[in-house]
Every structure is written in structure tokens, then in C-alpha cells.
Amino acid sequence: MTLAAMSLDLPVPKLSIKSLTLEDLAAHFAAQGDPAYRAKQVADWLYQKRVDSFAAMTDLPAATRSRLAEEFSFVGPEIVRVLGSEDTTRKFLFRLGDGSLIESVLIPASPALYGQTSDRRTACVSTQVGCAYGCKFCASGLDGFSRNLDASEIVSQLLAIEAASGEEIDNIVFMGMGEPLANLTNLLRAIRIINAPWGLEIGARHITISTSGLAPQIRKLASEPTQFRLAISLHGATDEVRSRIMPVNRKHNLTTLLGACDEYVAQKKRLMFEYILIAGVNDSDEQAHQLAQHALRLSAKTNLIPYNTVEGLEWSRPSRNRQESFLQILRDHGAVATLRREKGHDINAACGQLRLQTKRAENPVAAEQ
Ligand code: SAH
Ligand code: SF4
């Protein structure tokens, strides 16, 4: 049998329609000899009217609708669990088409987010199923890495949260499960759809990508024209401390990482540091002095985040006094820094934990492995 014949036996997974940009849709219709305005019609149905089938796109000819249905899939994520209530942080657990579980968080307008009180509704979105980077303190990495999300699975988290909550999201942080820069192509495609006037129309300055420090990808982003925001998860100000909790530091150490950040900042782009405070691990005065030097070098604002405990992990947050002293040292150096002070780290806890609980409940043996 030839390779071509063999491949005929395999069902080819359909591309999801929500992975396409307007240009892709236009190219699709042009190839079919259809009028160019069809692309915008479809985008309107997907992102303005938000229908959930091709059949509902009533201004397209019936033949076009059935052809689209043959070529593209439309499946959205299924919401498995929602935690939290209307005026608090809500967590959404989704099951994807292949059964994988991911989670997103909706943070309402009032609580302090990353230091400042926010009047925005923020969605914290996942980019991968699991995470390969295995930071020692993080629930997302505990179960290893399964796969990248495609662009539609990233965008659909936002559509599903808006549909379920009735709230309009106006701020996005890629701080859910996964390492966004390890899925850069799909991430940038999703951001184009989220940012576009024909898509979700969320301004680039309201989109934050968080990375554990993939230096080569940070260098790539330096030349990316879209002005989204970049957060570096530092969590250790020396190689010794950082390598202890973040294995990625053995691949891209601080010198390499900060060098990539220099290149990023040299392109007149700003970045910020995230620094979780973990008792007895990275919260010493010495770390604070070193961190201040890195922050000043890059003119980076630092967000200090008291650690959220993860079931099964031994790490904990330092006392309130220690948190405040750490902040004060940064400020004494002239570095701009904030400390997240809100309570309620029960559901507020970082992404990855709800998924882990559910997997353990559904399949206690496999989830422990
Ligand atoms: N992989 C990316 C983005 C997802 S994690 C990254 O690491 O940046 C988003 C942020 O949540 C990171 O700063 C991460 O270090 C932090 N985080 C992970 N587990 C946490 C926990 N238990 N408490 C507080 N922050 C946590
Ligand atoms: Fe992955 Fe980020 Fe968690 Fe590290 S902190 S394991 S990079 S999701």
C-alpha cells in the first residue's frame, strides 16, 4: 500500500473553525470561488453573535454551511465544574474534545489583582494540558505534560466563560495551566483572534503572557509587533535558589534569562517580574537585595505573590511581616514593587489544582502516578 492510500484509512481530525484568522477564512473562501465577504460573515457569527453551529449561520447559503461542517469542527469545551460565586473568583474546569481537563479562572472587577485594585474582569487562561516544566511548587506540573492546546481551545475558554457567567472579559492573563511560550505558534494565533477587531477585540495591553523563562522565545517576542505584556516568573534571584524550585533554570540560567530580557527591553518593550514568596526558600533579605538589582537593570516592576498552598506539597507562604519586609527592601533600592494582599486563597489558588483534584477523584490510582 502506498503512503497516500494508507493515510486514507486514518480519520483526519478536522481543524476547528475557531483556530482560523480572518485571513485564513478569506483564503478558504477564495479557494472555493466564494465571495470575499463570507469570511467576515463567518467571523461575525463566531465572535459577535456567538452561535454554536454552522447551521445557525443563516445568511450563508445552505451548501456553504454544510461544506463548512464537513471541513471544520465546531466543538467547544464542556464545563465540568464551576467553583466560586458571582462576586468572587470563579474557577472553571473544562473537558476538551479528547477528554483532557483544563481550567480557567475568572477574576471579578473588585479585588486587588497583581498589586493594584482592578476595575477589569480578568480571565486566567490555560495554554497546555499539564506542563512539562515541573516547577516544584506548582500543581500544573505535578501530573506531567500531555499536549499543547490549539488556538481554538485557547480562545474557546474565553467564549465559554463569557457565555456561562454573562460577564464580558476585558483583561487576559496567560497564567493558567501550561507554559505559554512552549506553545508559541498556537498562542500567537489565539492572541491575534482575541485582539482582532473582527474577533474578541481585547486590546493588546490587556493581554499578559507569563513565562517561566524560556530565553530563546523571549528573544523571539522582542521582535513581535503586537504590544501585549510579558511577565517573567522569576521566583529566585540567584541560580542556586531558582534551580532548586524551577528545573528550567538549569537549561536557561539567570545570566541567559536576564540577557534575553535585556534584548526584549532594548526593543522599547516593558516586562514585569512575578515573584512568589515561599517561606524559607526564596524570601531572605539577600534574595530581596539581588532581586532589586535585576528589577532595576530591566526597569521591571515586581509583583510579589504570597504562595498558595498546594495539596500534597510542603511549601508555604511566609508570615505577613516577612512579606512586608521583603517588599520594603525592594522599595528601599528604588525598585517598583507591589505585594498581593488579598485573602481567600482557597479558590483563588493557582491554576492546576482543580484539575488535579478532579482527576484524583475520577481515577485515584492513575492520578497519583
Ligand atoms: N508557565 C507559566 C504560566 C503559568 S503559571 C509561568 O510559569 O509563568 C502562572 C504563575 O503562577 C507563575 O508565576 C507561577 O509560578 C505561579 N504559580 C504556580 N503555582 C503557584 C502557587 N501554588 N502559588 C502562587 N503562584 C503559583
Ligand atoms: Fe509549568 Fe508555570 Fe507551573 Fe512551572 S509554574 S510548572 S512553568 S505552569
Residue 140 alpha carbon to ligand 2 centre in Å: 6
Among 102, 126, 135, 307, name the best residue to mutate to test ligand 2's pocket (greatest count of ligand atoms within 8 A of Cβ): 135
What one-letter code names the amino acid at 181? L
CA geometry: angle 152, 155, 157, nearest 5 deg: 110
Checking if the pLDDT of 347 tops 50, the result is no
Question: What does the pLDDT read at residue 70?
Answer: 96
Ligand 2 atom closest to Cα of 212? 7
Looking only at the bridges linking them, the beta strands covering 122-124 and 229-233 are unpaired
**Percentages (nearest 5) of helix, strand, coil residues in the chain:** 40, 20, 40
Q: How far apart, in whole angstroms, are the C-alpha atoms of residue 363 and residue 18?
A: 31
Q: Is the CB of 94 under 6 A from ligand 2?
A: no
Q: How far apart, in whole angstroms, are the C-alpha atoms of residue 266 and residue 357?
A: 43
Ligand 1 atom closest to Cα of 306? 24
**Contact at 8 Å (CB) between 205 and 228?**
yes
What's the grid cell of residue 12?
483526519
* Mean predicted lDDT score pLDDT of the chain: 89
Residue 203 alpha carbon to ligand 2 centre in Å: 26
Three-state secondary structure call for residue 18? helix
Ligand 1 atom closest to Cα of 133? 1
Per-position b or e across 143-173, b if 16+ CB within 10 A of its CB: bebeebbbbbbbbbbbbbbbeebebebbbbb
Residues with active-site annotation: 103, 351
Share of the chain above pLDDT 70, in %: 87
Question: What does the pLDDT read at residue 119?
Answer: 74
What are the residues facing 106 on neighbouring strands?
90, 123
Question: What does the pLDDT read at residue 75?
Answer: 80
What's the grid cell of residue 97?
474534545
State mean pLDDT over 151-167.
Answer: 95
Q: Is the CB of 307 under 6 A from ligand 2?
A: no
Ligand sitting nearest the alpha carbon of 130: 2
Among 140, 174, 187, 276, name the best residue to mutate to test ligand 1's pocket (greatest count of ligand atoms within 8 A of Cβ): 276
Half-sphere exposure of 243 (CA within 13 A, CB side): 9
Checking if the pLDDT of 251 tops 70, the result is yes
Question: What does the pLDDT read at residue 6?
Answer: 46
Closest CA to 231 of 284, 288, 175, 272: 272
The string of DSSP letters for 215-278 reads HHHHHHHHT--S--EEEEE---SSHHHHHHH-THHHHS-HHHHHHHHHHHHHTT--EEEEEEE-
Tens-digit pLDDT profile for residues 288-342: 999 999 999 999 999 999 998 888 899 999 999 999 999 999 999 999 999 987 6
Checking if the pLDDT of 43 tops 80, the result is yes
**Contact at 8 Å (CB) between 181 and 132?**
no
Q: CA dihedral in degrees (109, 113, 118, 122; nearest 10)?
A: -50
What one-letter code names the amino acid at 82? V
Tens-digit pLDDT profile for residues 95-138: 999 999 999 999 887 655 554 556 789 999 999 999 999 999 99
Residue 233 alpha carbon to ligand 1 centre in Å: 7
- In this structure, the residue with its CA closest to atom 9 of ligand 1 is 175
What's the grid cell of residue 15?
481543524
- In this structure, the residue with its CA closest to atom 5 of ligand 1 is 175
Question: What does the pLDDT read at residue 351?
Answer: 53
Among 126, 138, 221, 342, name the best residue to mutate to test ligand 1's pocket (greatest count of ligand atoms within 8 A of Cβ): 138
State mean pLDDT over 165-191.
Answer: 95
Ligand 1 atom closest to Cα of 124? 9
